[in-house]
Amino acid sequence: MDNTHSKAVGYVLWIFGFMGAHRFYYGRPISATIYFFTLGLFLVGWIIDLFLIPSMDRDADQQYRSGTTSYTLAWILLTFLGVFGLHRFYLGKWLTGVVYLLTGGIFLLGIIYDYWTLNQQINEKNLSLFSR
């Protein structure tokens, strides 16, 4: 089993979990969006997730392929510097990285898209390295 995601990063993002950050990180965009709009299911779900992070980490490790592109680094760049497009530069997507840099992540809409799709983008990139 690949170790694609980090429990430590999951717990750091859990601190912001009432906004769903840790759930996005572990590839659960639907529940993450619900957390975002309900403040972590009125903080009750957020507290429960403190105990669910190890299983979410195991699920993500099974679902995604490791490779040269780090999920953890990409997620840290997106979460804390997404408006500057640094996660896009890291993924080798230079054109959209420049667009994000100049437009604040396409006025935040691109960042929302990346929260929903970043794990899949990294997974595809890591899988493409093995198919060459």
pLDDT digits (tens, 9 = 90+) for 71-108: 999 999 999 999 999 999 999 999 999 999 999 988 88
If asked whether residues 8 and 42 sit together in one domain, one would say yes
If asked whether residues 122 and 69 sit together in one domain, one would say yes
If asked whether residues 80 and 111 sit together in one domain, one would say yes
If asked whether residues 13 and 55 sit together in one domain, one would say yes
Domain limits for position 13: 1-63
- pLDDT-derived band at 131 (thresholds 50, 70, 90) equals low
Q: How far apart are CA 4 and CA 26, in angstroms?
A: 10
> 97 near 88, Cβ under 8 Å?
yes
If asked whether residues 87 and 27 sit together in one domain, one would say no
Report how many domains make up the chain.
Answer: 2
**Alpha helical stretches, state H, the chain:** 7-15, 21-25, 29-42, 44-63, 71-81, 86-90, 94-107, 109-130
Q: How far apart are CA 124 and CA 71, in angstroms?
A: 12
Task: Tell me: pLDDT of 130 over 80.
Answer: no
Q: Quick one: DSSP state of residue 19?
A: G
Q: How far apart are CA 102 and CA 106, in angstroms?
A: 8
Q: Each residue of 4-28: pLDDT tens digit? A: 999 999 999 999 777 899 999 999 9
> 66 near 4, Cβ under 8 Å?
yes
If asked whether residues 36 and 82 sit together in one domain, one would say no
If asked whether residues 72 and 16 sit together in one domain, one would say no
pLDDT at 70: 96
What's the pTM? 0.91
